Structure 1
């Protein structure tokens, strides 16, 4: 299990996760690998205590909830133009990166919003 805490800024959106300042959030390994080393985050790997795995009944209880937690992460957030206009530059750039874009290639807010809306539509069509 991995966790990340936003330590600089107010909010940060990346890979379907929205981080708020000083709030610890459980994340997947790929998100951990992406954020680890980012000066805006404090990331760590949390190892399960050995005591939790003493009996078969306990390990089943430990495994089943994890499956439920992973499923919502696969849902892709679809942003509306209004939502995107209300976001700051950092939030928009994080979404652009999530969609496979390079925010440095986009000149301003309107170009970021257009990129996000266009790429969301493409992902819906291709089923990604």
Structure 2
């Protein structure tokens, strides 16, 4: 497992991930390799703790095959799992948080002049995604 934290700037979008300042995010190996060494990020590889006390030796084979399948599912989940924001939630967010959502929805936050335009964009694009099933 790999993680990255944006340490400079406000937001950063790369390979389907939107990073907000000082928020640690779990990433895939290819994203880690791309961001590692970038002065805007603190990247690290996190080793999963081995919990051998609960196993007697045989289930380890089953665990290995289950672990091999997990990354495929993990790669698909972030794309399918999209939070639906309400207007009141969006109004309570700061500009950086709203811009990150706009970017995640495929928009250009620089084209939106103010808070009300960002909120309208997000609500409209969420409805479109619900209709198309994305």
Inter-partner Cα distance in structure 2 for 1:38 and 1:76: 29
Inter-partner Cα distance in structure 2 for 1:124 and 1:38: 37
| Greater alpha carbon shift after TM alignment, 66-75 vs 111-120 | 66-75
- TM-score computed with the length of structure 2 as normaliser: 0.63
Gap regions ≥5 residues in structure 2:
49-59
Larger Rg: 2
- TM-score computed with the length of structure 1 as normaliser: 0.66
Q: CA deviation at 1:78?
A: 0.5
SS in 2 for 1:116: helix
Structural mapping, 1:90-105, within 5 Å: 90-105=96-111
| Greater alpha carbon shift after TM alignment, 80-89 vs 64-73 | 64-73
How many residues align? The count is 118
Alignment root-mean-square deviation, CA: 3.9
- The answer as to whether partners of 2:98 and 2:118 remain within 8 angstroms in 1 is yes
SS in 1 for 2:93: coil
SS in 1 for 2:107: coil
